[in-house]
Amino acid sequence: MNKKTVLVTGASRGIGKSTALYFAARGYHVFLNCCTSVSDLNKVKHTIETSYHGSCDIVLGNVGKPEETDQIFRHIYSTCSYLDVLINNAGVSYIGLLTDMSNSEWEHIIQTNLSSVFYCCRHAIPPMVARKSGKIINVSSMWGTSGASCEAAYSASKAGVNGLTKALAKELAPSNIQVNAVACGVIDTAMNQRLTREERKDLEEEIPMGRFGTTDEVASIIWDIANASPYMTGQVIGVDGGYL
């Protein structure tokens, strides 16, 4: 394949969708992943192929499960021998008291938000090491740094992503592979649609920029990281409008 390649997990909507479109518009072949929103993912594929005249493949599966991640990468490596960029974006949230969480709810958060990063990296890294080239970008959250009340599991999973990012960056630096993360603040995604108008207004007033971030803004920053100097690695970059 002549084009550079990127895998975007959780690409059916929100940050993942915007990021997939951003890379496709700039000449990348995009592997589009999601687990459940297949119709939305097909719409992203259609947009890439018709509006951007780009190329992409759909790789369905739950990246929080190792056996399904195995299948996803078998598909990818049947098309190309390596990824230039891996963007670990798949994520879910849970709002509620820790004591009200069930075991399965806790496991779902950790598997989707943190274990998925491990599973995808484990597959993506060997060809990158062989080529001495590659970028891994993890989509994290400001709550992984500061913690959020009633989002203990989510905060813990994103703190894990931040720690994994920093440790893996040190491990892979000798192989010229950069690992960074974006710690997103309040972004205008479906995850925040549950907020009432009053709750949204109150939250906007807490953000120095006075508004929620957009998915396109996050996609632009992810693109910049993918094209940054190789010397930039192991960073967790805040994208929060000055909130933290």
The Cα–Cα gap between 21 and 184 comes to 19
Q: CA–CA separation, 66 vs 101, rounded Å?
A: 24
Decide: helix, strand or coil at residue 232: coil
Residue 179: its H or E element: strand 177-184
Q: Which residues face 238 on adjacent strands?
A: 183
* Contact predicate 22/51, CB 8 Å: no
Which residues, including other chains, have CB under 8 Å from residue 184's CB and lie 6 or more apart?
Answer: 15, 139, 140, 141, 142, 213, 218, 239, 240
Judged by phi (left if over 0) then psi (alpha if -120 to 50, else beta), residue 234 lies in left
Cα–Cα distance, 73 to 82 (Å, whole number): 10
Q: Please indicate whether residue 154 is annotated as part of the active site.
A: yes
* Tokens linked to 136: 């891994």
Give CA–CA dist 136/86, Å, rounded: 5
- Helix/strand number for the chain, H first, E second: 9, 7
Q: How far apart are CA 216 and CA 57, in angstroms?
A: 21
- Of 22, 28, 94, 154, the active-site residue reads 154
Nearest alpha carbon to residue 221 among 213, 209, 211: 213
Active site residues: 154
